[in-house]
Structure 1
Amino acid sequence: MAAHQPRAGAGRGRRHLVALCLLLAGWGAHAQPAGGSVNASTEPAADLAPATLESDIHLFIVQKDGSVVEHDDSTMRANTTAGVDQVAERYVWFNKDIETVTGLAAETIDADGSVHKVGPEGIRDVQEPRSAGAPTFEDGVLRTVIFPGVQPGSRVHLVFGKRRTRPLQAGTFSYFVEPTGEPVEYQRLVFDLPADMPLHADARGYVALPPVTANGRTRYAFEYRHGPYAPLEPGAVAYVNWGDRLMVSTVPDFAAFAARYREAAVDPSTADPSIVALAQALTAGASDPHEKAQRLYDWMRFNIRYVALFLGETEAVPHRAVDILRNRYGDCKDHVALFTALLAAVGIRAETAMVNLGPVYTLPDVPGYGESAINHVITWLPDLGLFADTSSGGIAFGYLPAAVMDRPALLVNEGVLVRTPATQLHARSARLAIQVGRDGDAAYSYYVEDAGASAEPERNTFRRAARETRQQVALQRLRQTGLTGTAHISTGPLDATSGPFSTTTTGVVDHLVWTSGTTALPALSSLSGGIATQVDYWLAQPRRTQPWACVGGDFDETAQIILPAGVRISDIPGDVPGDVSVQSGALAYTARYVVDPASRTVQIERHLSAHFGHQMCSPEEFAQMRGTLLRIERDTHAQIVVRARSEEAGAGGRPPPA
């Protein structure tokens, strides 16, 4: 779900020590800090990682019913001023309904060994912000620990216990951890379970020690060390796709994991008369199952507010469907529960599909909840052959948000892993008309039509925006193109919930052409958001060593630029005779330039087709297409060179060429 998973230990998946600014992070990759060797000097070298995890010891004592007592002891060192900001406040996340924090003690240790204890005034509880005021989700609490006197070279030491009296799933335990990006000098995770409750593990980079059994219990231990991490490259998918991570679970396989969720989610209220009556009213007059499902889907996304909590942060049981309908809000599992109940009321089969929401394209080999494991649920409609995510809000029925596409999906009823669609229709058509006046300013008209997956998100942007905000969006897109001027936008109908969506932007660009001398004006066929923007995104990293996100589509752009009588076109882009055509694997690009000297008009046509067949591309794929991308980038950033005729006539007294 859309917010950050509570984290544990020193890993990227650390369940308790969460930086508050990450709690509202959305979909996208975040760079990891890079650094050199660790130095405790108060004047650290510039190439040090901002902070280092010196020691991180976690002990989980698990009982047969799934209840857990946890003991955490960790020390972090601030290496730089940025590291001070990183470690001076730490957060212990807990679910106040089923967990208590005990024995919390914290201190700052100066480089010379002086100790500053954290007093009661430095420890306070704050409401988990993602609950967004929804009473049934106000169980998440952040115990905030503010360390005094932290400087470069200081260490912050935090010790606490946590007791979970009621498991997220009865009789089970699972835990996921991945590196947070700071160097790790030593980390140890110990899981103490009843001997007849075996722990299954999928460890990459974490070293499993031999289990030790005594007195009817078995201890499983894992150790981890890592130096500075390479920065996450722009556009790269999450580190966990190829890097270190650990998942442990007492559930032996995904079929058993699905069965436990299915059994816990049984809800007699799904056939409540209020649900049946609503479903029948919403689908009245519709006979086609697809239309019925679409009507119910649209009602859900516009009427049931989404509370963005990861699956597994609270008990993995949906609220009762009738209560969700009454409250008009819910998290992802609540959305699925009510949506499937509405569908069932009109005879449409549907079931829960468990996925990962984020830039993670594989699941660990053992099942469990976690930020980079299972953390979200969507709906599978087998008779329609469609997945649907009503919690996404701005996605039309029949499409999926990119954050859940091309991912493993565990079907809860069947207990089998399938995969969500890797591709879907994504098309954009742009028409740009520019007429330059005698003063060099240019009136323009810009029409864009989005079709497929991109249409409804664009429509939803303007549907939810005030009039002033819409105009700000138009002006921002003009500025992102590198132009200044005015922008007024009008849109297609906003009451539709599917189908293409169009916008028309008009205005004046300042000083597109200078009335004296030579001007190199951009050979535009689109404002920001078109082919040039897409290619720039792919080329944000010159050479790739990490897998990256490659979402394709079809782009068509045409432009007409009319110049004033006082200038002559000197040069245009393109190969002789003005055409460009490049193709490599998934990419096909063409451009055509036509000049009419008599009317001083330049016409531009560009087309890009990008069909990768998946959403995660390898560094090798990037290397193969890099030359093609560079050739496309060169053309989309090309310029049209024009000269003022009066200036040319004055150069040596010779008239300009025709």
Structure 2
Amino acid sequence: MQFVWMPEHAMRSFLPVCIMTLACCFSARVVASSQPAPPLEPYVNEGETQTFTVNDDGSFTKLDSMTLMVNNEAGVARVAQQYIWFDRNMANVEILEAYTTGADGARHDVRPDQIRDVQEARSFDAPMFQDIQEKVIVFPAVEPGTRVHLTYRKTQKVPIVPGHFSDFTPPDLAPTHNFKLIYNLPAGKPLYADARGFTTIAPVTEGGRTRYEFRYEKAHFSRLEYGSVAYVTYGDRLMVSTFPDYSSFAATYRASAVDPSAADPSVVRLARTLTANDATPQAKAKTLYDWVRKNVRYVAVNVGRGAVVPHRASDVLAYRYGDCKDHVSLYGALLDAVGIPNEPALISSGTIYSLPSVPGYGVINHVINWLPDQQLYADSTAPNVEFGFLPSTDMNRPALLVNEGVLARTPPTAPMTRSTDLAITVQPDGSATFVYTLETAGWAAEQGRTMLRLQTPAQREESLQAELRNANLRGAATLSTSNLAATDGPLSITMRGTLESLVVPGAAASIPALTSFAGGFESDTRYWLGERQRTQPFVCRNIELHERAQITLPPNFRVLDVPEPAQTQDRFLDFRSQYTFDAQTNIIKVSRDGSTHFDSDVCSPEEFAQMRPAMEAVGRDVRAEVIVRSSLDGASVASRLP
């Protein structure tokens, strides 16, 4: 709705007309107010030009000039400070111009003391990585209606990969106008591009150099849906690279990863000592994997952030920490020492499930080990993942096998089985005691063990209370577990405790037909149905669940209604439930069994539309309740007992 300012004399002449047509004016206002204007995005990128001047050796200068319009307080929080990452041994950053202009046009320059070089947080206390820096620019007088202007030059003095250049540009999901990316390269060094959603301008060659230009405009980005994969998996993105294909990209990483210390005596001695009692190559690979993931701390400075050259395996062993490249280097050297073939595999970690048609760092941001004889991948940077499994952030994505120079794929899905047994004994006054057992096998088991190993007593108590709160219950509980020192196999947990006021006696009431506290069918359907409709691919991990419950009622409780059993089946989901009541013992039994059959860890919007009816049926069943009526007589007698 647009408001037009009118001078006072015009307003006076307008008023009688409006009074005579009051009903019409009022009606128009009602219609307008029933259609509120869409909320403003926090900020708008009103214009930005990034110009890269690339040298023959792969070093480059980047000149970036941008203007961001701040629309509201959320925008202030997002743009009032700007961060520029660099490695101080390989690059430097110069701030050429930085200022804020107010809504009144007043200019507020960034002072020198408002520009700081700070060590990147993740590299603290890690001498290998203390060259990782961020230049922080703090803009003054930023408020809704102001504009932030920044121009800086980044000089990459030492190329990340000698002789090559690559750059990845994902949209920042804010309205973007007049965005240009210009790459100026020697004419003999062609630039390859995957420009999805970007407009490609025809290259121009003159004076021995070729200019490539890409433009981008987008006024609106859809909300990222609950559980959806990274936007660049399916949306707009620009990858440019001087690598013609993935084979040549792998060759450069292979050359850079050569480690003369791989056969260092300390590495060989450790590998052979650890595996002395292992009879098979797979057992040896597991032993070494478990040692690395538990003893070498992961410092999260990923591939593409700094040099892509791993540190020496002997140094990683001595320091007992490293990034993903270093983990691969040390684990690979340990495997080599006991004769187990292995090679690095470059992947896109996180929720990016696809690679552009041209290779480069940015989308490729992680490296793991591939063990061809065992036909499995291993990521020792994940301390809570059992050998033979991968963290979800590594699943179902292209993997560039470095030694072979070919694209493979990590497993599309992994098994997980969860069985629970809940026994609730209701007391005459409506309180209850319970015993809850859970056994989980597959990728989730070691994650649970690791969490329990690391918990303090206070955190353990809070997790128990969270379990009860998740089921909308109040009470107290104790916990016992299977051996937490194990590194594989199922995890068993037993909770014992009391519940306060599970049901109020003396009237008709409902008891939730619980078969699990946290996790299980209830939490999975809550995730699956987190969106009524989906337009974006989303993460969907396979599960097999078996849940049992028994509710024993005292004599002063009478069951009025028990839910009907449910059964549903489609290509993606099998589910059935059963409810029985034994009037002689006053015991209610509930069972729920089901499994999913997703083809991979990523499902499409079309698949969601097909599976939604079955998931809604499960969602209705897990909300089922048993209706009971009780008298106060039993509760009163119980309260008088010594």
Q: TM-score normalised to the size of structure 2?
A: 0.92
Q: Does residue 1:187 correspond to 2:208, yes or no?
A: no
**How big is the alpha-carbon RMSD for the aligned residues of Structure 1 and Structure 2?**
1.4
The letter of the residue matching 2:147 is R
The letter of the residue matching 1:115 is R
Please say if residues 130 and 308 of structure 1, whose CA atoms lie closer than 8 Å, have aligned partners that are also in contact.
yes
Q: Does residue 1:407 correspond to 2:391, yes or no?
A: no
The alignment partner of 1:181 has SS state of: coil
The alignment partner of 2:202 has SS state of: coil
Give distance in 2, aligned partners of 1:488 and 1:472: 11
Give distance in 1, aligned partners of 2:250 and 2:448: 35
Please say if residues 471 and 489 of structure 1, whose CA atoms lie closer than 8 Å, have aligned partners that are also in contact.
no
Give distance in 2, aligned partners of 1:153 and 1:116: 14
Q: Which residue pairs with 1:641 in the alignment?
A: 627
Please say if residues 559 and 605 of structure 1, whose CA atoms lie closer than 8 Å, have aligned partners that are also in contact.
yes
Please say if residues 505 and 632 of structure 2, whose CA atoms lie closer than 8 Å, have aligned partners that are also in contact.
no
The alignment partner of 2:302 has SS state of: coil
Q: Deviations over 1:48-87 (max 9, x none)?
A: 1011011111011110111111101011111112111111
Aligned-residue identity in percent: 47
Q: Which residue pairs with 1:257 in the alignment?
A: 249
The alignment partner of 2:270 has SS state of: helix
Q: Does residue 1:90 correspond to 2:89, yes or no?
A: no
Q: Which residue pairs with 2:189 in the alignment?
A: 197
The letter of the residue matching 1:349 is P
In structure 2, list runs of 5 or more residues that go unmatched: 1-35, 634-642
The Cα of 1:93 is off from its aligned counterpart by: 1.4
1:540-559 paired onto structure 2 within 5 Å = 540-559=530-549
Please say if residues 415 and 542 of structure 2, whose CA atoms lie closer than 8 Å, have aligned partners that are also in contact.
no
1:46-65 paired onto structure 2 within 5 Å = 47-65=39-57
Please say if residues 132 and 307 of structure 1, whose CA atoms lie closer than 8 Å, have aligned partners that are also in contact.
no
The letter of the residue matching 1:189 is L
Q: Which residue pairs with 1:288 in the alignment?
A: 280
Q: Does residue 1:465 correspond to 2:455, yes or no?
A: yes
Q: Which residue pairs with 2:94 in the alignment?
A: 102
The letter of the residue matching 1:477 is E
Give distance in 2, aligned partners of 1:229 and 1:547: 15
1:44-193 paired onto structure 2 within 5 Å = 47-193=39-185
The Cα of 1:46 is off from its aligned counterpart by: 6.3
1:231-250 paired onto structure 2 within 5 Å = 231-250=223-242
Q: TM-score normalised to the size of structure 1?
A: 0.90
Q: Deviations over 1:358-416 (max 9, x none)?
A: 1111100000011xx11000000001111000001100000111111111000000000
Please point out which of 368, 374, 379 is paired with 1:389: 379
Please say if residues 66 and 173 of structure 1, whose CA atoms lie closer than 8 Å, have aligned partners that are also in contact.
yes
The alignment partner of 2:82 has SS state of: strand
Give distance in 2, aligned partners of 1:571 and 1:274: 70
Please say if residues 62 and 173 of structure 1, whose CA atoms lie closer than 8 Å, have aligned partners that are also in contact.
yes
The Cα of 1:112 is off from its aligned counterpart by: 2.1
Q: Which residue pairs with 1:613 in the alignment?
A: 599
The alignment partner of 1:630 has SS state of: helix
Give distance in 1, aligned partners of 2:632 and 2:381: 62
Please say if residues 467 and 517 of structure 2, whose CA atoms lie closer than 8 Å, have aligned partners that are also in contact.
yes
Please say if residues 105 and 159 of structure 1, whose CA atoms lie closer than 8 Å, have aligned partners that are also in contact.
yes
Higher helix fraction (1 or 2): 2
Give distance in 2, aligned partners of 1:240 and 1:582: 35
Q: Deviations over 1:69-122 (max 9, x none)?
A: 110101111111211111111111111121111243210011121100010121
Larger radius of gyration: 2
Q: Deviations over 1:603-635 (max 9, x none)?
A: 011011012021111111111111111110000
Q: Deviations over 1:198-246 (max 9, x none)?
A: 0000011111101111111111010001012110111111111211000
Please say if residues 547 and 619 of structure 1, whose CA atoms lie closer than 8 Å, have aligned partners that are also in contact.
yes
The letter of the residue matching 2:357 is D
Q: Deviations over 1:276-327 (max 9, x none)?
A: 1000000012120010000000000011100112211111110011111111
1:292-303 paired onto structure 2 within 5 Å = 292-303=284-295
Q: Deviations over 1:426-481 (max 9, x none)?
A: 11111111111111111111111110111000000011112222222121121122
Give distance in 2, aligned partners of 1:572 and 1:284: 59
The letter of the residue matching 1:437 is Q
The letter of the residue matching 1:606 is R
1:192-341 paired onto structure 2 within 5 Å = 192-341=184-333
Give distance in 2, aligned partners of 1:626 and 1:489: 36
Please say if residues 505 and 631 of structure 2, whose CA atoms lie closer than 8 Å, have aligned partners that are also in contact.
no
Q: Which residue pairs with 1:583 in the alignment?
A: 569
Give distance in 2, aligned partners of 1:125 and 1:491: 48
The alignment partner of 1:455 has SS state of: helix
The alignment partner of 1:295 has SS state of: helix
In structure 1, list runs of 5 or more residues that go unmatched: 1-43, 648-658
Aligned length: 599
